[in-house]
């Protein structure tokens, strides 16, 4: 009996050991190694791969303002991945192991690769040139995927090729070919990817009569990626449509639909875009982020007014839904865009501001919102407000080299001088107006200002106390005393009470309990122990004398303020006329300067600009008023000559290249000191330059030549002509700078 038992045990051990052999092609060996390689190794490798994919999904941030990429992975082209594992397995691309590399921290994809290599090494059954373990092709596919996501595309292709060459009848051969095509796309070998995918789908180079839906989706998605890289956009759309017929992979299908809708929108095919985005919004199994953005895109691409109103109502419902809080900035923004489209400007401003106040709002979304608000104020001629919004755009923008941001920056710079002059006019007007008031009126004005200031300070102090009393943001959230007193009534909260007393004494000092305590004339309080008298430091912001002392009293000071204000008003008129083409504001500023009796040097240019503006507006009666002033009071000036001969024809037309050559010759004559000849030639050639962009340069050169050749008065008149006629050009500004030095 004992002998039989031992014999049985030895027999079982022998069978177990023989089944472990990778060199014997038996049913037991094949099944043993297949089960062991999957459940002991490959299962954990696939889990590690899924963990790495989840990290990619969590970290990848889509830019919804631009066209999405078809595969949501951010690969770094500069990255050089080094091998971590080494083995002698075929197709593995490794040649050994060392201790240093084993101690290296592994990523989930490294772990997946390690498991795949281990399965190949320990359980590969290559008998007579044929692999007998049905799980080894899965191991090589896992190996290739891990390398693909580790951005090691050449070794990944090596692993995929090994499967295709050695397992032509494998069930996953089609999927392997798709992955090989994707790796080739990443290596900019999209031509090979297109050829192999067309061969797979349409020529059917495998033994399968037809493929599962998931394989067709993957293959068409890979083809769309390849054609996108080769800029064959029509074929991209074709394969995205094919890839979204069945929606087996709901996440990728939703993404494909979104990209397809974006492509139609980019081509201004609003109807087609609306159909695709509507289809995506009704795709129940799609990830919610795609559905909510599809509705936002529907709002952008509504083909008609009826559709826009329907989408607007849908956006309102989404805003009310608490689940949509992460998307409130985008929802409010798109609602505002629709309101703006229908000229509901106040509603648009309200929604834009709600978008800015939304929590979790992105900086990119804020930059678009600030820009929209800036444009609204700019178009309404509220340039100061527009400037502040454009400034906010640049503060929150990450990509300052983006064309849109550069345009905003240019607008902001153009507004800078306008804002400076507008502020100068406002401040000087206020000072001059207050200085003109009698003494009692000045005191009453500043007393009212001080009263308002005190009320605001009291409100701010009370707000701070309330925050402390009711657990608001006091800056000491970690204080144990605060946490123990939190939630009590203000006068039962010892910390709040102490803080309030300190704040009160800081602002008001020690005051007696009496009526009108704020106006108490008492300026001293007793110390607790030494009975010494201390003086309460009075806030100069509440001191009437401080303000009264700042008012200019000397006539020279007031005249300087008026002079600067008039100069700023004139500059504003030119800026509104030349830079912003806002003729209404240009007229307001220039006519106001006229009413304020400016210095005599400004009278001629003001009349000239007003004449030009009214003529452009077709208001001939008003234009004639300023025309007559120029013809009667400034009859000998160049401006009067232009008015008298407006239709003077150019005798000859010269090509631009010839004009440039002529200008250079005249400039060289000036540089050589041949001023008399240069001036004569310039006067002769000026009519030929009348329609050329070089005319301001030639006029400035003429002024320089006059300065070298004729008297000071004539030189000044020539500079004034250039500064007035070409005020918006570099030459006009240069002439203006020289005139300022003249006046000094």
User: pLDDT band at residue 33, thresholds of 50, 70 and 90?
Assistant: low
Range of the structural domain that residue 684 is part of: 656-743
The residue out of 111, 140, 170 marking a domain boundary is: 170
Q: Band of the pLDDT at 18, cuts 50, 70, 90?
A: low
By mean pLDDT, which of 161-165, 404-408, 426-430, 667-671 is the weakest?
Answer: 667-671
Q: Examine residue 668 and state whether it is found in any structural domain, yes or no.
A: yes
3-class secondary-structure state, position 104: coil
pLDDT band at 541 (very low <50, low <70, confident <90, very high): confident
- State yes or no: pLDDT of 362 exceeds 70: yes
Q: Residue 374 pLDDT more than 90?
A: yes
> In the listed set 170, 190, 210, which residue is the last one of a domain according to the structure?
170
Q: Is 618 part of a structural domain of the chain?
A: no
Q: Looking at 269-278, 480-489, 653-662, which range is the least confident one?
A: 480-489
Q: What is the pLDDT of residues 331-361, one digit of tens each?
A: 999 999 999 988 899 999 999 999 999 988 8
Q: What's the confidence (pLDDT) of residue 44?
A: 82
414-418, 488-492, 510-514, 638-642: the lowest-pLDDT one: 488-492
Among 170, 187, 221, residue at a domain's last position = 170
Cβ-in-10-Å burial (0-12, 13-18, 19+) of 217 comes to: buried
Q: Is the pTM of this model over 0.75?
A: no
Query: Does the residue 634 lie in any domain?
Result: no
Concatenating the DSSP letter of every residue in 444-507 gives HHHHHHHHHHHHHHHHHHHHHHHHHHTT---S-TT-HHHHHHTTS-GGG-HHHHHHHHHHHHHH
Does residue 235 have a pLDDT over 90?
yes
For position 25, what pLDDT does the model report? 53
CA distance 71 to 91: 26
Does residue 233 lie within any of the structural domains? Answer: no
The one-character DSSP state at 201 is: I
Res 398: pLDDT: 77
Identify whether 187 is part of a domain: no
pLDDT for residue 1: 53
Q: What is the mean pLDDT of residues 158-162?
A: 91
Q: Name the nearest CA neighbour of 505 among 543, 534, 545.
A: 534
Question: Do residues 592 and 569 make contact, with C-beta atoms less than 8 angstroms apart?
Answer: yes
- 712-730: per-residue pLDDT in tens? 888 888 888 888 778 778 8
> Does residue 505 lie within any of the structural domains?
no
User: What CATH number has the domain bearing residue 682?
Assistant: 1.25.40.10
Q: What percent of the chain shows pLDDT beyond 90?
A: 32
Domain assignment present for residue 416? The answer is: no
Average pLDDT (406-422) is 88
In a domain, 133, yes or no: yes
What lies within 8 Å, CB to CB, of 195 at 6+ separation is none
Q: How many domains does the chain have?
A: 2
Q: Which residue in 136, 116, 115 sits closest to 127, CA to CA?
A: 136
């Amino acid at each position: 009996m004992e002998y039989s038992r031992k014999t049985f045990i030895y027999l079982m051990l022998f069978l177990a050991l023989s089944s472990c052999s990778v060199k014997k092609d038996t049913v037991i060996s094949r099944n043993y190694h297949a089960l062991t390689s999957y459940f002991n190794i490959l299962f954990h490798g696939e889990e590690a791969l899924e963990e790495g994919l989840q990290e990619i999904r969590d970290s990848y941030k889509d830019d919804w303002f631009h066209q999405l990429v078809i595969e949501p992975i951010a690969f770094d082209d500069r990255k050089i991945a080094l091998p971590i594992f080494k083995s002698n397995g075929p197709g593995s691309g490794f040649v050994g192991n060392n201790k240093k590399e084993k101690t290296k921290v592994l990523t989930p994809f490294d772990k997946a690769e390690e498991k795949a290599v281990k399965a190949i090494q320990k359980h590969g059954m290559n008998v007579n040139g044929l692999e007998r373990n049905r799980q080894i092709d899965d191991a090589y596919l896992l190996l290739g995927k891990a390398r693909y996501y580790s951005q090691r595309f050449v070794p990944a292709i090596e692993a995929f090729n090994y499967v295709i060459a050695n397992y032509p009848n494998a069930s996953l051969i089609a999927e392997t070919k798709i992955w090989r095509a994707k790796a080739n796309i990443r290596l900019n070998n999209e031509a090979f990817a297109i050829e192999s995918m067309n061969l797979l789908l349409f020529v059917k180079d495998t033994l399968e009569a037809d493929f599962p839906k998931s394989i067709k989706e993957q293959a068409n998605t890979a083809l769309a990626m390849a054609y996108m890289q080769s800029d064959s956009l029509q074929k991209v759309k074709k394969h995205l449509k094919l890839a979204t017929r069945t929606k087996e992979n709901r996440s990728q299908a939703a993404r494909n639909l979104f990209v397809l809708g974006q492509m139609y929108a980019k081509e201004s095919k609003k109807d087609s875009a609306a159909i695709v985005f509507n289809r995506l919004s009704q795709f129940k199994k799609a990830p919610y982020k795609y559905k909510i953005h599809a509705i936002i895109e529907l709002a952008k691409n509504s083909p008609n007014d009826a559709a826009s109103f329907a989408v607007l109502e849908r956006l309102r419902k989404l805003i009310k839904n608490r689940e949509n809080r992460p998307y409130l900035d985008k929802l409010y923004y798109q609602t505002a865009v629709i309101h703006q489209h229908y000229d509901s400007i106040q509603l648009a401003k309200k929604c834009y501001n709600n978008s800015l106040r939304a929590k979790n709002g992105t900086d990119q979304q804020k930059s678009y919102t600030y820009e929209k608000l800036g444009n609204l104020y700019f178009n309404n001629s509220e340039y100061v407000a527009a400037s502040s919004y454009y400034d906010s755009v640049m503060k929150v923008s990450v990509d300052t080299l983006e064309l849109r941001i550069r345009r905003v920056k240019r607008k902001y710079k153009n507004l800078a001088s306008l804002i400076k002059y507008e502020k100068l006019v406002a401040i000087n007007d206020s000072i001059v107006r207050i200085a003109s008031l009698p003494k009692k009126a000045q005191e009453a004005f500043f007393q009212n200002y001080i009263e308002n200031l005190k009320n605001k300070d009291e409100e701010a102090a009370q707000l701070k106390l309330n925050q402390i009393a009711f657990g608001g943001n006091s800056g000491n959230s970690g204080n144990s005393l605060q946490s123990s007193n939190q939630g009590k009534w203000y006068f039962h909260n010892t910390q709040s009470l102490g803080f309030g007393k300190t704040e009160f004494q800081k602002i008001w000092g020690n005051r007696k309990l009496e009526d009108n305590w704020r106006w108490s004339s008492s300026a001293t309080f007793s110390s607790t122990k030494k009975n010494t008298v201390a003086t309460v430091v009075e806030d100069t912001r509440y001191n009437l004398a401080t303000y009264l002392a700042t008012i200019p009293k000397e006539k020279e000071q007031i005249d300087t303020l008026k002079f600067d204000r008039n100069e700023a008003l004139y500059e504003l008129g030119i800026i509104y006329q030349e830079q912003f083409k806002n003729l209404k504001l240009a007229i307001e500023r220039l006519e106001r300067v006229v009413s304020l009796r400016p210095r005599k040097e400004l009278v001629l240019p003001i009349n000239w600009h007003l004449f030009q503006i009214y003529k452009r507006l077709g208001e001939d009666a008003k234009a004639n008023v300023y025309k007559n002033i120029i013809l009667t009071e400034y009859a000998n000036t160049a401006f009067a000559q232009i008015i008298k001969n407006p239709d003077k024809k150019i005798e000859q037309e010269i090509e631009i290249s010839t004009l440039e050559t002529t200008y250079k010759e005249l400039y060289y004559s000036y540089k050589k000191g041949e001023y008399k000849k240069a001036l004569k030639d310039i006067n002769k050639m000026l009519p030929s330059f009348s329609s050329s962009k070089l005319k301001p340069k030639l006029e400035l050169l003429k002024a320089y030549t006059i300065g070298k050749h004729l008297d000071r008065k004539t030189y000044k008149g020539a500079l004034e002509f250039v500064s007035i006629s070409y005020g918006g050009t570099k030459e006009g500004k240069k002439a203006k700078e020289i005139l300022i030095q003249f006046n000094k």
